Amino acid sequence: MAETTPASNGTVNVIKGDSAVAHAKGSPGTYSAPSRVTLHLEHLPSKNIKAPWPRTPSRVDPNNPPWPAYRGYHEYSFAHATMGVRLPTILGKAIDDTSRTLNEQSNEDKIVDLVQCLERMDLLMADLSGNAKLRPIIDDGEGDVALWNKEIAKYFQGKDFMNAPWLFAEAYKYRRLHECFSVSRYWKDYDVFYRQKCDTFARSADAVFELSMRFAEPFKQSENISEKEKAETERLMFLELTQVCLWGNSTDLSLLINMTEDQIKSLQSTGGEHLAATEKNILGNHMNQLWETVKVLPEKTGGRIDFVLDNAGFELYCDFVYADFLIQSGLAKQIRFHGKRYPWFVSDVTRNDWSWLLNTMVYGHLFPKASEAERESLRRLGARWKQYENDGRWTYEQHPFWCTGYTFWDLHSEAPDLFLHLSHSDLVFFKGDLNHRKLTYDCAAPASIPFDVAIGPMASAAGAPKVCSLRTIKSDVVVGLGDDGDAIAEKLDQEEPGWKISGKYAVVLLSEGRPGEKVRFA
Q: Express each pLDDT in 233-275 by its tens digit.
A: 999 999 999 999 999 876 544 433 344 445 434 444 455 566 6
Q: Which one has a higher pLDDT value, 169 or 258? A: 169
| Separation between Cα atoms, residue 266 and residue 272, nearest integer Å | 14
pLDDT score, position 300? 75
With 50 as the cut, is the pLDDT of residue 3 above it?
A: no
HEC string of 399-420? CHHHHCCCCHHHHHHHCHHHHH
Q: What is the C-alpha end-to-end distance of the chain, expressed in Å?
A: 47
| Separation between Cα atoms, residue 16 and residue 85, nearest integer Å | 10
Confidence label for 366 from pLDDT (cuts 50, 70 and 90): very high
pLDDT score, position 75? 86
Query: Tell me: the pLDDT tens digits for 48-89?
Result: 667 667 888 889 999 999 999 999 999 878 999 999 999 999
3-state class (DSSP) for residue 417: helix
pTM value is 0.88
Confidence label for 438 from pLDDT (cuts 50, 70 and 90): very high
CB-CB contact of 49 with 166 (8 Å)? no
3-state class (DSSP) for residue 339: coil
Q: Which one has a higher pLDDT value, 7 or 479? A: 479
3-state class (DSSP) for residue 219: coil
pLDDT score, position 165? 97
With 90 as the cut, is the pLDDT of residue 148 above it?
A: yes
Confidence label for 370 from pLDDT (cuts 50, 70 and 90): very high
pLDDT score, position 262? 53
pLDDT score, position 36? 42
* Alpha helices for 329-371 (secondary structure H): 351-363
Query: Tell me: the pLDDT tens digits for 317-329?
Result: 999 999 999 999 9
Chain CA centroid to CA 130, Å = 26
3-state class (DSSP) for residue 111: helix
pLDDT score, position 377? 97
pLDDT score, position 138? 98
Mean pLDDT value across residues 173-182: 98
Nearest to 183 by CA among 147, 221, 139: 139
Domains and CATH numbers, the chain: 78-183 (1.20.930.60), 201-511 (no CATH)
